[in-house]
Structure 1
Amino acid sequence: MNFIFIFIAALLAASVTLWLGLALWRGPKLDSSLEHHAVNARVLRDQLAELEQDRANGILSLPDHAAAQQELQRRALDEATPAQSTGLRRQSSKQAAIALAIVLPVAATLTYLALGNLAAITPPPVQSAPAMTQADVQAMVDSLAARLARNPDDAPGWLMLARSYRYFEKYEDAAAAFAKATAVIQADPLALSEYAETLARSNQAGFKGEPTQLLERALSLNPREPFALTLAGAAALERQDYPAAIDYWQQLLGLLPADSDAAQAVANTIERARREQAETAAAKN
């Protein structure tokens, strides 16, 4: 960016300097002036010849002839003066052109250095953002909790706080925050699934009761929600409903790329569920 700006500025300055320099170097056109003086000189010569003819014919007396001749000589001197001044102007125009070619670029550079902003064309170095530590996250969570204490009707804020507590594995605090975010999680399948998992981890009953109801609601909103299918399979396995668990996880497997690590993990889980199902059936017999 810096190089492009300097190149364009130099090109513009050079163009203006060249245009003005050529105009001064050439100076004013002299053709018409020279032609004018040549015509006047011929006229004066003709008039002088006429005077001589009139003197010879006796039309003009000697004193009148002398006076007329002096007048013509004076006019001839006057006609010669502009040609000399024109030469001086032409010489001074060339000197001005040379001075302009030197002074204009230097003056433009010095003016920009004095008044311009070099930093504007030099982008500041990109600085990488400092890595956020767990202490920084904890400080943000504490600040959010303090704000919600002053504004308890902020349902989106409670959902954010609940997810933050889940991050720190504070499941009881997370469950309490989810309960205050009911207004926004009832239509959010992922948030319902997170709430169900939080409740299952924070009490001895596991997925029994409200967590399973939350998962059922999440799947009714979006039957293809991956986290809801994962937890629904876990809840079914917990109550030893192996066919339901295998069905949920097979639906989940269909949503994952066939060659991904996640798909392989789900396939292994399905295989374990089938072995447990077979072992449980054998034990009953």
Structure 2
Amino acid sequence: MIEFWLAAGLLLLVALSFLLIPVLRGRRAQQEEDRTALNVALYQERVAELQAEQDEGVLSSAQMDSGRAEAARELLADTEGAEPLRVSRLGKPLPIFAAVLVPVLGLGLYLHFGASDKVELTREFSRAPTSMEDMTQRLERAVAAQPDSPEGLYFLGRTYMTQDRPADAAKMFERTLALAGRQPELLGQLAQARYFASGKQWSPELQALTDEALKADPKEVTSLGLLGIAAFEGERYQQAIDYWQRLLELLPADDASRSALEGGIKRASEKLLASGGKVETAPAVADKGEVRLKVRVELGAELKARVKPDDSVFIFARASSGPPMPLAAKRLTVADLPVEVELSDADAMMPQLKLSNFPEVQLVARISRAGQPTKGEWVGRSKPLANTTKAQQQLTIDSPEQ
């Protein structure tokens, strides 16, 4: 920001010079005019003296003409080199008033319409965060600067959950729902945040949220996990096993949360058997197989002169009807374009958000000079397509980011 204010100050000085220099020049011209007027008055006074002497008979006509010519030569010598008289000039108060008004008005307009907070935020995001607290503060400032960004709100809510701040997370998810609609993933996240914020007290409201989420997407992982926890806490162990078993079948073999989930199923089974019950095996969910989308990304011809080789390029897929955040993403630079990439479940941003869980997706390629995946300068988008699409898709980055 220091560089910005220095540049703004320099431009302001240039602008003021156009107003103040004429005033200073006007003062010098006024002095020249005053001196010229004095010389003319002296000339007229000398001519009057010569005329009086001629009338008294002291000077002859020849002497009168000689004296008048001498006085004229002296007047010409005194006024030679002076600037010509101006017919009119701008008054002094107006340019001085304008010189004061320009910086005040410019500063006021910038503070009202400008985006100094976003400029500073962009500079911050170009540097790697030093800690989780630093990342949280950046996300909070990003949400304050862009309150209508569902992606920023969602990621801030997820960050609050990792910091054991479920009440704050619930507020973020509520705002995300209001902007992005009642997507299954968002309903599950909101239900989970409210559940932990209420001290793990299950309620009809939470049941309604999870029911709505699973009705729209039977494989919504957050709702499945949450219902399993609520069932276990309510000693409904068979229901907990069923929910967790369904969730386990959705996770990849190398997912880090599988061990904890298997441990929960084991504890629920033990408690069910200890209470005299019998563990029933839930029907398996059919495996749809891993999704792989191929896409070629190139830069529009009109943008080649407007971008830099090190500008970030984010290529990602997101659900056409689902959470606004990317399901799978890759980060490159403009220098890598054109490029062919493949997006799959292995590129998932979050374990519970995978391409295979959403039947229809949209491919997006975005250029961001600040390195922000959620906001950039230019973008290219595909039409909605099935996640089972095998043909390579073509994306051209040629539209300004709205």
For the superposition of Structure 1 and Structure 2, which TM-score range results when normalised by the shorter chain? 0.3 to 0.5
Bigger proportion of residues as helix: 1
Bigger proportion of residues as strand: 2
TM-score by length of 2: 0.33
Larger Rg belongs to = 1
TM-score by length of 1: 0.45
